Structure 1
Amino acid sequence: MSERATSRAGAAGRAPAADRPEQLRNVVLVGVSGSGKTTLTESLALAAGALSRAGRVDEGSTVSDYEEIEHQQQRSVRLSLVPVEWHGVKINLLDPPGHADFAGEQRAALRAADAAVFVVSATDPVSGPVRALWQECALLGLPRAIAVTHMDAARANFDEVLAACRQTLGDDRPDSVQPVDLPVRSEGHLRGTVELLSGQTHGQAQPVPAVEPAREQLVEAIAGEDDELLERYVGGEPLDQDALARGLRGAVLHDAIHPVLPIGEDGTGAVDLLDLIVSAFPAPTDRPLPELLGDLASAGGPTTAGAAEGTGAAVADPAGPLVAQVIQNTGDPYVGRLSLVRVFSGTLHPDLLVQLAGRPAAPQPTSAQAATQPTTAQPSGTQPASTQAATVDGAATERIAGLTSPFGKQQRPVPHAVAGDLVCVGKLSTARVGDTLSEPAAPAVLTPWELPEPLLPIAVKARSRSDEDKLSQGLARLAAQDPTVRVEQNPATGQLVLWCTGEAHVGVVLHQLGEQFGVQVEQVPYQVALRETFGAAATGHGRLVKQSGGHGQYAICELLVEPLPGGAGFEFVDQVVGGAVPRHFIPSVEKGVRAQLAHGVGDGYPLVDVRVTLVDGKAHSVDSSDSAFQSAGALALRDAATQTTVRLLEPVAEVGVLVPDEYLGGVFSDLSVRRARVLGTEPAGPGWSLLRAEVPELELTRYAVDLRSLTHGTGSFTRTPLRYEPMPSALADKVAKPSD
C-alpha cells in the first residue's frame, strides 16, 4: 500500500459529507459478472479508510452485502452505493449487478453517475456485453476509464489486455485508450505500479520497467487535445507534470482519452484509481443535467413551462430550486422503504415538502380489448396503473422524513444533500423509480431513463389461501422496487403473469416475493391466448323445448355462420321475416351467441371473426322467454360448428431483433425454425443489424433467454402485436384444450 493511503479522510464511524458540488465525484463501476467489480469496490473502500482490513465496514457489515439476497449465485442483484472520502472529495461508488438480466439496475446507475470505470479482467477477453455497455456510456457522454483486474493471475498480460481494449473499445480512435500506470510483475504476481506522468513507483515496484515509450505516447495523446499544450509540445518545450495533469483532466472530460490502470487482488493500484477519480473525473458541475420531460401538461402533471422557468438549472447549483430523481427503491426491515435519490439541483433537507411526479401512466387495455389482442409486454418501463396514477394524476406531495448515507447495512444520518450528491430518503410511500422530486412552487419532471423491456413471461399462482390474500400487496411492493418487472392479470387466459428480463431475474423476483414480502407462489405453464374461427360457412339449429309444469321453455333458432377476414371481429345480422322470432327476442339471441363466442365451440378458445345471421326461428306465446332464446342461440352456434371445420388461430407479432453482424446468420436460422417470416434487415450502426420478422407468439415465450444465449448476451428484441393467423393443422392437433 502506498504512503498516500495514510491520507484517509473517510474514517469509519461517520458518513462522508460534501457541502459543494465540486467536492463530489459520482462513479459507476461497469463490468460483467466475474470481472472483479465488487472486489475492486472493496479495495477502493479499504484504500480510502471506509473499510477495515478485516473486510468490515464500521460495526460489522461487509461493504458488498447491502441489500444482498442470499443464494442468488453468490452475487448482489441490486445496485449498491458505497460513499468514500479521498483528499477532501466525497466519491460515491455505484456498484450495479453485472448480469445482463439486471440491465435496469445498470441503467439506473448510469443516470446517477458522472463517469464510469470499466472493470475488465486480465484473464478474460473483452466480451460483447462490455462493448455494448461501452457504447451506451458513449451515447450518454460519460467519461470512462478502464481498470484491469486479476493482474495477479499467472496468465495475466497487461499489454494483451490493453491491445484488446484498444481494438474493441477504442472505436475509431484506438489511441484514446491510454495507460496512465504500468504494472510491475514478478513471479506471477503484481508487485506494484509506475505512474507514467510522474514516474513515481508504488508498492514493491522493483525493478522499474522501461516506461518512456508508453509515457511519450500518453503525453502526445494529451497534448493533441489541448492547443496550448500541443504548441509547446511541437516546439520541443518540456511539459511539466501539473500541465499534463490539467491536460489529462480536460481530455477525460471531453471523452478523448480513456485512462487504463492495473489492479491487483490485494488492492495494488486502488490508490492510483482514487487519485485519478479525484483529479481527472468530472464533478457534477462539469456535467449537463438530464432533459426535462415535456408531455405532462395534458396528463395533469407539472407544466413544461413551469419546470423550465422554475428550475433554470443548466448546472448543479446548491442554491437553485430542488430537482432530484429517484434512482432506486429498496425495502429495509427497520426503516421500511428507502429511496436512493440523485440531487441534480438545489439542496435536499429533512422535513422539506416535495412534489413527486414521473412519466405518464400507460393506458391499460380494457377487458374487451385484452380479449381481442395478443398478450405482449408493454413498452419498457411501464408499470401497473395502480402504481403510476399516484404520481401523475395531480402529482403526489410528501414530506422528507430523513436523509441517510449507507455504510454496508448501516444507514448513517446526514444533515442535507447538495446538488450532485446521492442520498437515501426514507418512507417516500408513492415514489417510483424515475420519479422527480421538486418544490411544489417550482415543479419539474426529468426525463426518465430507458428501461429494458421485460419479455420473458412466467405464470404464477398463490400457493395457499393465505398467500392469495397477501398476493396483491406483495406484487404492488415488488413493482415499486423493481420497475423492470411487469405484473399482468391476463383476462383472456385468467393467468397471473409476471414479465421479467431473464431467468436470473425470474429467480430473484420469486425469491423476493417469498422471502421479502412473505408471499409464496408456484409457477404454472404459461398460456398464449389462442382463438378459434370457422373454416367455412355453416348453418346451425338451436332448439330448446321444455315443459315441466307451469311456464315451460320454448325457443327455436336457425343461424347461418360465415367466416370473416382476420381481425374483422363479430357481426350479428337479423334476417328474420314474418315475425318468426318476435322483435324483442332478437337481442336475446345475439346475447346468447356472444356468450358462446367467449367460451368457444371447439377446444374452448374464444371464437372470433365470424358473421352470425339469424335467418329463422319459432316462438311460443307463453313459454318463450329471454333466457330461452339466449340458450337457443348458443345451441345453434354450437350446432353450426359441427357442420364445418373450426380452425385454431394464434397471435403473431412483429419482431425487431438488434444483433451484432457476427451473429446475424445464427439469429436468422433460429427464426426460421420458429416459423418466422423474415421481412428484411437494415444497418443499425457500425457492426450492428436490425432484423425484422413476423413470428407466432407461441415461439416467443422463451425467446428472451434463447436470443441472449445465441448472441452471447449482446442481442435484444422488441415485439409488437399484429394479428391472429390460422395455426398449422399439425401443430393445432398438439395443442391441448386449456384447463378450466
Structure 2
Amino acid sequence: MLFRAGVVTRPGRVENGNTVLDTQPEEHDRTQSLTLGLASFEWADCRINLLDAPGYADFVGDAMTALHVADVAVFVVDGVSGLQVNDELLWQAAAERSIPRIVFINKMDKERASFDQTLAGLRDHFGAGVEPLDLPVGEASEFTGVADLLSEHVILYDTGSATTSDELPADIADREHEQHEHLVEDVVEIEDDLLARYLDGDAISVPELEHALRRGFSGGSLWPVLCGSATEAIAIDRLLDFLCHIAPAPSEVPGVEVRNGNGSDSLTCDPSGDPLAFVFKTQTDEYVGQVALMKVLSGTLHADDVLVDQRTGTKERLHNLLRVLGSKHTPIDTAVAGDIVGAIKLTDVTTGDTLAPIGSSLTVTPVEHKRPVYGIAVAADSAGDEDKLSTALAELVGDDPTLEVVRDSETHQTVLRGAGDVHVQVALTRLQRRYGITVRTEPVKIAYRETLLAPVETEGRHKKQSGGHGQFGVATVRFEPLPRNGGYEFVDATRGGVIPKSLIPAVGKGVAESMERGGRHGFPLVDLRATVLDGKHHSVDSDDFSFRMAGALALRAAIDKVGTLILEPVDRVEVTVPSSLQGDVMADLGRRRGQIEGTEPAGDGEVTVIASVPTSEVVDYPVALRSMTHGRGRLALSFERYQERPDPR
C-alpha cells in the first residue's frame, strides 16, 4: 500500500527485513510482524492512518488494541492457506465493536492460490454477507488483474501500472455477468427505492450502487471482498480507493463511548469540539525515547497544547506532535478529530491514558486484555543489574500491557508472563538487546503450602539466663487444622493470669511468624487455629520477645509431633476449542489430574471446557494446547483454591 501510494520507492518484504512497519530487530530475525505498526499517508484526496497488526496468536493483544481505535478493519487473507485461527477471533472482536470489515485476498499470484476456495471458507465462517467485488483475471503466475463486478470493467496491471478496459476476457465473461447480477441484487436490497426501481426493470447506475454499497458496508450488512497481490502491486489501488471513497469517514462512524463522572456519553468525532485524545499504545524509540501513539477523538490538537492526563491529573504539554510512518517521525502543527498521531517528551503518559482539557471529566475506557497464561522466572545474570532489570521490565510492560511482571514474595521469583512462549521469548530478546541485560531464566516455582495433619497440644518454652535480666516465657497451645481457606485464627483461652494479657498477642505473633517460615517441607503453613491454654511467666524476665519465641517453639513442636501435609494450588481452567476437539481436550486435562466441572457452548461450533487443574500441571499447558489444537484453542487461567497434594509415591 505504501509503495502504491508513492510513500516508498520499492515494496518491502517481511522475509527480506525491509518493510516499513516491521522496525524491530526481533521482527527481522523471525521474519514476521510482532508489534503494532503505524503508517500515516495520503491517497487521492484523503489521509489513511494504517495500523498494521501482527497475525501471530501470541500477539493478538496488539490487534485488539488496533480494533479499539479503528474505524474500519481490513482482513488480509492468504489466498493459498486461507483463513487462519486468529482471523476468526479478530472478526468476532470487530463485529462486537460494530466495525465495518473488508477482506483482501492476497497472494493471488502464488501457486495453489484459490479465490473460490478462500471465498467459500469466508462464507462458511462469516455468512452470506461476504460479498466479492472483484473476480481474479488469471491464476498463479498468470494472475494479471481483476474484473470489477460493479462496473464490469477489467483492470489489468503491468509492473504496478493499471489499464482499464470494458472488454472482459472470454474465460470469465459468463461468470462475471452472473456474479455482477448477484452483487447488484444484494446491493439494491440495502435501499428500498433502489430495490423498487430494480424490480421495475430500471437500470441502476454504478454511482447509485456504490452509494448503497457504502451504506451496507458502514451498517455491517455487507462485507466486501477484494483480491490481488501485494508483492506485484496488483489491485492494491482498488483497496486504497475503497478505503477512501466507500469506507465511512471518522465523522460518520458511531460515537465513542466515554465515561463522564459516574455516567457515560457518546462522543462524536467533531473537529470543532473540545479536544480529547486516547493513548492506545506507547513505544520506546532508541533515538527519541517514549512515543505515545494517540487517536484524536474530538477537537483539534495543536503543538504546545496543554491537556490533563485523566489517570494522574498531571498537565501534559504536547511539545511535539508527529506524523508517524514506521520508525520515521515528521513534526506537524495540528491533528484533527479522527487522526492518529504520535507525541514525545510527555511526563508520565502510559498506554490507556486519556488526555483531556483542564476541567474535563471525560475518560475513554482502555482495552481490557486477557490475563497472560504463560510465565517464566527471570533474574539478572549480574547482581548489579537487578535494579536495571526492574526498570527495564516496567518499560517493557508499559510498551506492551499484554505482558505482566509479578514479584512473588513466597517463591522469591520475578515472573514474566505473556500470551505464550513466543511472546515471552521475544520480550526476553528485546530486554537483552535494548537494555544490555543478560537474563537468567528458570521455571516458575509452585507456591505450595502446608497444614497440620491432626489436632495437637504442645508446649513452647523459652528460657535464657546469661546474668542480669533474662528471658522467660512458657505457652501451652492447642493447634487445630482448619478447612481449606480457613486462614489463621488465634484464640486466648487462658485463665487466672498465667500469662499477662499484654503478652498474649506475642504468642499469636510468634505462631504466625513461624507459619510464614514454613513447615516440615519448607512451605508456609495455612488453615490453622492456635488456642493458648496455659503458660508461665516471670515478673522480671518475661517480655514480648520471650512469648513470641514460646509461640514459635510450640508450633515447631506440633509439626514434629503430628507432621504436615502439602497443599497445592489449583487453577480454574477454561479452554475454548472447536467441538470436534472437545474429547481430546477433556482427556488431556484428565491426564493432568484435572476435574472437569462442565462445558458451555461458545458459538460458531465451539465449546468451552471448564476444569479445575493443579497449577503444577498447567505450567506448560499453553504450549501443549497450541500443539494439540493446531492453534485453535484459547485458554484462560485463574487461581481457584488450595487442595491436598497426593503422595508423589
TM-score by length of 1: 0.81
Give the equivalent residue in structure 2 for 1:183. 136
Q: Distance in 2 between matches of 1:215 and 1:544?
A: 95
Residue 332 of structure 1: how far off its partner (Å):
1.5
| Cα distance change of structure 1 residues 434 and 575 upon mapping to structure 2, 3 Å threshold | closer
Residue 589 (structure 1) shift: 2.5
Paired position in structure 2 for 1:483: 401
Aligned amino acid, residue 291 of structure 2? L
2:116 aligned with 1:163: no
Query: Would you say the 8 A contact 2:283–2:291 is kept in 1?
Result: yes
Specify which of 390, 400, 403 is matched with residue 472 of structure 1.
390
Does the alignment pair 1:92 with 2:49? yes
* 1:495 matched to 2:413: yes
Conserved 8 A contact 1:61-1:409? no
Residue of structure 2 in register with 1:257 after alignment: 222
Give CA deviations for 1:407-447 in whole Å, capped at 9, x if unaligned: 34221112211111111111223222121111113331012
* Counterpart mapping for 1:103-122 below 5 A: 103-122=60-79
Task: Give the drift of 1:696.
Answer: 2.2
Aligned-pair CA distance for 1:136: 1.4
Question: How far is the alpha carbon of 1:697 from its aligned partner?
Answer: 2.3
Return the structure number with greater relative CO, CA threshold 8 A, min gap 6: 1
Tell me what 1:288 maps to.
254
Specify the alignment match of 2:197 in structure 1. Answer: 232
SS in 1 for 2:427: helix
Q: Secondary structure at the match of 1:684?
A: strand
Aligned to 2:532: 614
Please, which moves more after superposition, 661-670 or 235-244? 661-670
5+ residue gaps, structure 2: 158-162
Note the alpha carbon deviations across 1:664-701, whole angstroms, 9 max, x for none.
22222222222222222222334233333222222232
Q: What amino acid maps onto 1:573 in structure 2?
A: V
Mapped partners of 2:262, 2:587: distance in 1: 48
Q: Distance in 2 between matches of 1:186 and 1:151?
A: 7
Change (3 A) 1:627 1:187: closer
| Structure that is richer in strand per residue | 2
* SS of residue matched to 2:190: coil
| Superposed counterparts of 1:37-48, under 5 Å | 44-48=1-5
Which residue of the partner structure matches residue 525 of structure 1?
443
2:240 to 274, 277, 290: 274
Shift of 1:351: 0.5
SS at match of 1:604: coil
Report matched runs for 1:334-483 at 5 Å.
334-357=287-310, 391-392=311-312, 395-483=313-401
Query: 1:164 deviation in Å?
Result: 1.6
Higher mean C-alpha displacement, 343-352 vs 121-130: 121-130
| C-alpha displacement of 1:94 | 1.3
Aligned residue identity for 1:348: L
In 2, distance between residues paired with 1:54 and 1:291?
Answer: 38
| Residue identity matched to 1:94 | L
State whether residues 325 and 343 of structure 1, in contact with CA within 8 Å, keep that contact through their aligned partners in structure 2: yes
User: Offset at 1:105?
Assistant: 0.7
Q: Structure 1 residues 703, 320: CA separation in 2 closer, same or farther (over 3 Å shift)?
A: same
> 1:237 is aligned with what amino acid?
D
Q: State the SS of the aligned residue for 2:570.
A: strand
Q: Report the AA paired with residue 111 of structure 1.
A: H
> Once the two structures are aligned, what percentage of the paired residues are identical?
40
Query: What is the DSSP-based 3-state SS (H/G/I as helix, E as strand, rest coil) of the residue aligned with 2:365?
Result: coil
Name the structure 1 match of 2:279. Answer: 326
Query: By how many angstroms is 1:70 displaced?
Result: 5.0
Residues 1:653 and 2:552 are matched in the alignment: no
Deviation by residue 1:148-168 (Cα, 9 ceiling, x = unmatched): 112112211211221121112
Contact 1:290 1:447 in 2 (8 A): no
- 1:580 Cα shift? 4.3
Q: Closer, same or farther in 2 for the Cα pair 1:584/1:703, shift >3 Å? A: same
Q: 1:186 to 1:724 in 2, by over 3 A?
A: closer
Supply the distance in 1 between the matched residues of 2:371 and 2:499 (Cα, whole angstroms).
Answer: 53
Judging changes above 3 Å, is the alpha-carbon distance between structure 1 residues 639 and 54 closer, same or farther for their aligned structure 2 residues? closer
One-letter code aligned to 1:226: E
Of 211-220 and 568-577, the range deviating more from structure 2: 568-577
Contact kept in structure 1, 2:2 and 2:11, CA below 8 Å: no
Q: CA shift at 1:107, angstroms?
A: 1.0
d(CA) in 2 for partners of 1:339, 1:518? 24
Which residue number corresponds to residue 131 of structure 1? 88
Deviation of 1:718 after TM superposition, in Å, equals 3.2
Q: Provide the rounded CA distance (Å) in 2 between the counterparts of 1:422 and 1:454.
A: 28
Q: Deviation digits for residues 372-408 of structure 1, max 9, x if unmatched? A: xxxxxxxxxxxxxxxxxxx24xx22211011111234
Change (3 A) 1:588 1:446: closer
Residue type of the alignment partner of 1:235: D
1:374 aligned residue: none
Please say if residues 594 and 611 of structure 2, whose CA atoms lie closer than 8 Å, have aligned partners that are also in contact.
Answer: yes
Structure-2 separation of matches of 1:533 and 1:251: 64
SS at match of 2:138: strand
Question: Quick one: distance in 1 between partners of 2:376 and 2:85?
Answer: 27
User: Could you tell me how far 1:263 is from its partner in structure 2?
Assistant: 1.2
What is the total number of aligned residue pairs between the two structures? 633
Name 1:706's counterpart in structure 2. 624
Unaligned runs of 5+ in 1: 1-43, 295-302, 358-390, 734-740
Separation (CA, whole Å) in 1 of partners of 2:384 and 2:140: 62
Cα distance 1:72–1:450, how it changes in 2: closer, same or farther (>3 A)?
farther
Q: Distance in 2 between matches of 1:53 and 1:529?
A: 54
Q: Deviations over 1:679-727 (max 9, x none)?
A: 2222233423333322222223233333343333343343443332111
Could you list the structure 1 runs, at least 4 aligned residues long, displaced by more than 6 angstroms after superposition. none
Partner residue of 1:738?
A: none
> Structure 2-normalised TM-score?
0.92
Secondary structure in 2 aligned to 1:69? helix
**Residue 685 of structure 1: aligned partner:** 603
